[in-house]
Structure 1
């Protein structure tokens, strides 16, 4: 069932779709996601865009912030929990422009950002996507 409706899906719908994406990940990965925080924001702020070298707030659909699993240690304290932020307006725009099911689009972005949680770079993930059957 497509998630498209006449009204733009709200923040709660985005969060539910993101949680659904996490729940579909295989067990060996889900075991390391207990402390992941999902945030939904309308757009990335200027500081974030500047740090990433992105010119337009419409270009960023998601972001992982945190220490990858391989760099975490019980001896490190004071770190905020790892966070996946989805940017609602750019995702809605991509959904409208492409016609891709919103659940599939959010799944793609969440899986990509979770890849960073496991220490994969953007290039690593693009290679994995390109090599997938």
Structure 2
């Protein structure tokens, strides 16, 4: 009888699904400071395998693997009154680029998803990289 080892965990596991990445993002969002989450309001978090062609063209990207996440909408720093029919602010996380980046790094997938999520939320608030790093550090503690 073969002895079980830690490598057997991966033997029958598929790559994380869209729903599993979305669950990681939800968990990461739940660890953010309460005041920060309340300020996010009705922000919507979505996961797709890749950005669509329009996003790639608009950003001048050559490969769909070049983008891990994207904030779409009007950041709070630039927002006036909400217009009728205006879509909610959204954060997109892209599963395949995230998995590719994860495979090349020493970070856990959960840490990577949290990092990208916080970075994209930071765009929503018009924050600096230092501000985003402070929020990420607080979320880890």
* Fold similarity call, TM over 0.5: yes
Q: Which residue of 1 aligns with 2:3?
A: none
Structure 1: 5+ residue runs without aligned partners?
none
Q: Which residue of 2 aligns with 1:125?
A: 129
Matching of residue 10 in structure 1 with residue 14 in structure 2:
no
Q: Which residue of 2 aligns with 1:46?
A: 53
Structure-1-length-normalised TM-score:
0.83
Once the two structures are TM-superposed, the CA of residue 127 in structure 1 deviates from its matched residue by: 7.9
Structure-2-length-normalised TM-score:
0.79
Q: Tell me the number of residue pairs that the alignment of Structure 1 and Structure 2 aligns.
A: 126
For 1:75 and 1:62, the matched residues in 2 are separated by: 24
Structure number with larger C-alpha Rg: 2
Q: Which residue of 1 aligns with 2:88?
A: 81
Q: What SS does the aligned partner of 2:64 have? A: coil
Alignment root-mean-square deviation, CA:
2.4
Structure 2: 5+ residue runs without aligned partners?
1-8
